[in-house]
Amino acid sequence: MKQKLLVANVSDIDRRGSRKLKVGDVDIAIFRMTDGSILAVENKCPHKGGQLSEGMVCGTAVHCPLHDWKIDLRNGRVHEPDEGCVKTFPTEIDEQNGAIYVTV
C-alpha cells in the first residue's frame, strides 16, 4: 500500500543538498535540485551500497561517495559505463507552505 508522507520543508534542505529518511526497512535520500525541485531515491548505491545522501549533486545526478558512480536522480539509472538502478519515489511540494511529501 502506498503512503504519502510529509518528510520536510523545502527550506530545510539547501540547494544541491539532501536529507535522509527511513521508512520501514527502506532508506530514502531526498535531494533539492538547483531549480528548487525535489527528487527522492533509495539511499543505497547499487555498486557497493554507498549512501547517496552523502554524495555530491551535479546537474540531475548524484555521485556516490564511495566510488563516484553517477546516478540520475530523475529515473534512478546509473550512468554508463557502469550499470544498475536505484528505486525512485514520487515527490510533491505544497506551494503554499513548502511542505515536501514523498510517496512510498
Instruction: Provide the pLDDT for residue 97.
Output: 96
Q: How many domains does the chain fold into?
A: 1
Measuring CA to CA, how many Å separate 61 from each of 91, 99, 103? Answer: 16, 23, 21
pLDDT band at 98 (very low <50, low <70, confident <90, very high): very high
Put simply, whether the predicted model's pTM sits higher than 0.85 gets the answer yes
Contacts 24+ apart (CB under 8 A), 27-31: 27/51, 28/89, 28/102, 28/104, 29/53, 29/62, 30/91, 30/100, 30/102, 31/57, 31/62, 31/73
Q: Which amino acid is at 66?
A: L
Band (pLDDT 50/70/90 cuts) for residue 1 is: confident
Q: Which domain holds residue 93?
A: 4-103
CATH number at residue 87: 2.102.10.10
